[in-house]
């Protein structure tokens, strides 16, 4: 059973006791991260390419940009204080193409400065190059720019990247350089335990709180989708107010959206129809979402409630919540992923506890011999059997048929996803000054930088008050 507080606030999503135990049970100091987007820099690593946030080209040999192969166009997308979907929507508007024509390998942090490769279909290379304007002023004004347009032959999909390089500044108020050096030394040394001859930090690969979205409520949305059905999950995603985690204007808008949704429910009951058939209620919701008010820049506005706007628009067009969800499966899969991530974290926490009932030998291994844990996936018999044995509470008493069909079934017969139980923190270095520690390191795809940093500090987004549960 997942606590209601966890569903809405994220407290308990990461098992803090296991994190502290693995990190040596040292006392931890509080640290602030993401004070500005420039304090949290994420740069995607693709095969043969390190994307950078610099306005300068990532290709020393400019002739390589003129390779004639392929009908698609690849660019490096640099964004600032934007979600990846919002930046892609802004780029689509710039190029006057549908956003679905642009693919990316993953999502980069919203409150960061980040660089990633995207692939564009259905547009001429020269048109894209004319819109390559890598400039700091444009980045701050529009939230993104593109650079290094070149031909390519393959679209991108989730996970089609090697990893990410991070440069992160932590502010540790009131601590001198010497105090921080003394603090860091034993903690880093503890994490640098030898593993197969490698003196590289190897840490548990917990899902971070970013998995829960800005409102920290995607776990609750996922639970509703799985147990109560698509309509309940979509309603919660669009309408739920989490005062402490969202912009005041967004909270006010969600209250108004909730009233519209309730009106649609009353009308549907009176007419003997579905909620999605209450066309005028959703038209009113769409107008609310499209109205100005968050800020003057339309791209930043999209960044706040972009998926909600798309959902309402699809419901209007299809008059069917199921069809709308199917069209926006990738966007809403984050909510189901939050549910999977919660139970993955609980399993991994047991693996790391002293005297744990689950040892590393109980886990599957990947091609490199590293242990992996399956995510709960009903279409994968091995996944279901694993959770029945080690974490039966993860299996819902009731499971919505449509949610299961859309999000937890592979029709090509492939197994469900596996996630490494541990990750190596590569290329680690850090600099210490009074009140500041700046880290540089690389992680494989899917790993969270903040998870690693949580072994060293209590980040301002951590919730260590597990007793509240």
Q: What is the pLDDT of residues 218-259, one digit of tens each?
A: 999 999 999 999 999 999 999 999 988 888 888 999 999 999
pLDDT for the residue numbered 74: 96
The number of residues making up the chain comes to: 469
| Within a domain: 101 | yes
Burial class (CB in 10 A: 0-12, 13-18, 19+), 461: middle
Confidence band, pLDDT 50/70/90 cuts, at residue 302: very low
Q: Nearest 5°: phi and psi at 442?
A: -125, 145
Q: What is the mean pLDDT of residues 331-345?
A: 95
Using DSSP bridges, classify how beta strands 426-433 and 436-444 pair: parallel, antiparallel or unpaired: antiparallel
| Within a domain: 122 | yes
3-class secondary structure, 116? strand
Q: What is the mean pLDDT of residues 210-223?
A: 93
Confidence band, pLDDT 50/70/90 cuts, at residue 293: very low
| Within a domain: 158 | no
With beta carbons less than 8 A apart as the criterion, state whether 218 and 335 touch.
yes
* 97's tokens: 């193409």
| Within a domain: 73 | yes
| Within a domain: 23 | no
Please tell me the distance from the alpha carbon of residue 311 to that of residue 332, in angstroms, as a whole number. 10
pLDDT for the residue numbered 58: 94
Q: What is the pLDDT of residues 396-437, one digit of tens each?
A: 999 999 999 999 998 887 889 999 999 999 999 999 999 999
Confidence band, pLDDT 50/70/90 cuts, at residue 354: low
Q: What is the mean pLDDT of the chain?
A: 90
Q: Give the lowest-confidence range in 101-110, 195-204, 218-227.
A: 195-204
Three-class HEC string of the chain: CCCHHHHHHCCCCCCHHHHHHHCCCCCCCEEECCCCHHHEEEEEEECCEECCCCCCCCCCCHHHHHCCCCCEEEEEEEEECCCHHHHHHHHHHHHCCCHHHEEECCCCCCCCEEEEEEEECCCCHHHHHHCCCCCHHHHHHHCEEEEEEEEECCCCCCCCCCEEEEEEEEECCCCCHHHHHHHHHHHHHHHCCCECCECCCEEECCCCHHHHCCCCCHHHHHHHHHHCCHHHHHHHHHHCCCHHHCCHHHHHHHHHHHHHHHHHHHHHHHHCCCHHHCHHHHHHHHHHHHCCCCCCCHHHHHHHHHHHHHHHHHHHHHCCHHHHHHHCHHHHHHHHHHHHHHHHHHHHHHHHCCCCCCCHHHCEECCCCCEEEECCCCCCHHHHHHHHHHCHHHCCCCCCHHHHHHHCCCCCCCCCCEEECEEECEEEEEEEECCEEEEEEEEECCCCHHHHHCCCCEECCCCCCHHHC
Q: How many domains does the chain have?
A: 1
Question: What's 94's domain CATH number?
Answer: 3.30.70.3160
Which residues span the domain enclosing 80?
Answer: 47-152
Q: What is the mean pLDDT of residues 134-156?
A: 94
| Within a domain: 250 | no
| Within a domain: 81 | yes
Q: What is the pLDDT of residues 12-60, one digit of tens each?
A: 999 988 899 889 999 999 999 988 999 999 999 999 899 999 999 999 8
Please tell me the distance from the alpha carbon of residue 439 to that of residue 342, in angstroms, as a whole number. 27
CA of residue 382 relative to chain centroid, distance: 26
pTM for the predicted model, two decimal places: 0.88
Q: What is the mean pLDDT of residues 198-205?
A: 88
* Residue 301 clears pLDDT 70, i.e. is over it: no
Q: Give the lowest-confidence range in 53-67, 293-307, 390-404.
A: 293-307
H or E segment and range at residue 376: none
| Within a domain: 143 | yes
């Amino acid at each position: 059973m997942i606590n209601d507080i966890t569903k809405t606030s994220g407290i308990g999503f990461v098992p803090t006791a296991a994190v502290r135990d693995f990190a040596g049970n040292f006392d931890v100091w509080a640290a602030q991260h993401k004070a500005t987007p420039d304090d949290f820099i994420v740069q995607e690593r693709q095969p043969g390419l390190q994307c950078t946030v610099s306005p300068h080209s990532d290709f020393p040999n400019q002739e390589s940009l003129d390779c004639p192969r392929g009908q698609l166009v690849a660019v490096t997308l640099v964004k600032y204080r934007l979600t990846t979907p919002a930046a892609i929507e802004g780029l689509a508007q710039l190029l006057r193409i549908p956003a679905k024509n642009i693919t990316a390998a993953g999502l980069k942090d919203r409150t960061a400065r980040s660089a990633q490769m995207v692939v564009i279909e259905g547009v001429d290379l020269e048109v894209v190059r004319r819109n390559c304007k890598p400039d700091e002023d444009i980045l701050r004004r529009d939230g993104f720019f593109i650079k290094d347009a070149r031909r390519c032959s393959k679209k991108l999909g989730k996970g089609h990247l090697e990893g990410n390089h991070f440069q992160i500044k932590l502010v540790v108020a009131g601590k001198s350089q010497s105090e921080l050096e003394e603090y860091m030394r034993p903690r880093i040394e503890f994490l640098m335990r030898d593993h197969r001859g490698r003196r590289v930090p190897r840490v548990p690969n917990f899902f971070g709180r970013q998995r829960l979205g800005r409102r920290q409520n995607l776990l609750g949305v996922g639970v509703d989708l799985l147990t109560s059905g698509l309509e309940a999950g979509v309603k919660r995603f669009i309408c739920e107010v989490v005062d402490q985690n969202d912009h005041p204007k967004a909270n006010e808008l969600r209250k108004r959206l909730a009233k519209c949704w309730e009106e649609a429910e009353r009308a549907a009951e009176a007419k003997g129809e579905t909620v999605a058939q209450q066309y005028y209620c959703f038209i009113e919701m769409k107008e609310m979402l499209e109205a100005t008010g968050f800020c003057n820049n339309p791209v930043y506005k999209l960044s706040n409630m972009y998926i909600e706007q798309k959902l309402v628009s699809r419901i209007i067009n299809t008059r069917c919540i199921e069809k709308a969800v199917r069209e926006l499966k990738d966007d809403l899969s984050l909510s189901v992923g939050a549910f999977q991530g919660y139970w993955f974290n609980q399993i991994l926490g047991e693996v790391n506890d002293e005297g744990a009932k689950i040892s590393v030998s109980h886990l599957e291994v990947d091609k490199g011999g590293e242990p992996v844990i399956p995510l709960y996936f009903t279409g994968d018999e091995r996944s279901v059997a694993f959770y029945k044995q080690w974490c039966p509470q993860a299996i819902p008493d009731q499971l919505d048929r449509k949610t299961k069909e859309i999000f937890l079934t592979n029709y090509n017969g492939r197994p469900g996803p596996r996630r490494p139980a541990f990750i190596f923190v590569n290329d680690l270095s850090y600099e210490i000054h009074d009140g500041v520690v700046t880290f540089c390191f690389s992680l494989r795809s899917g790993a969270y930088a903040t998870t690693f940093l949580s072994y060293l500090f209590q980040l301002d987004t951590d919730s260590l008050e597990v007793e509240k549960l």
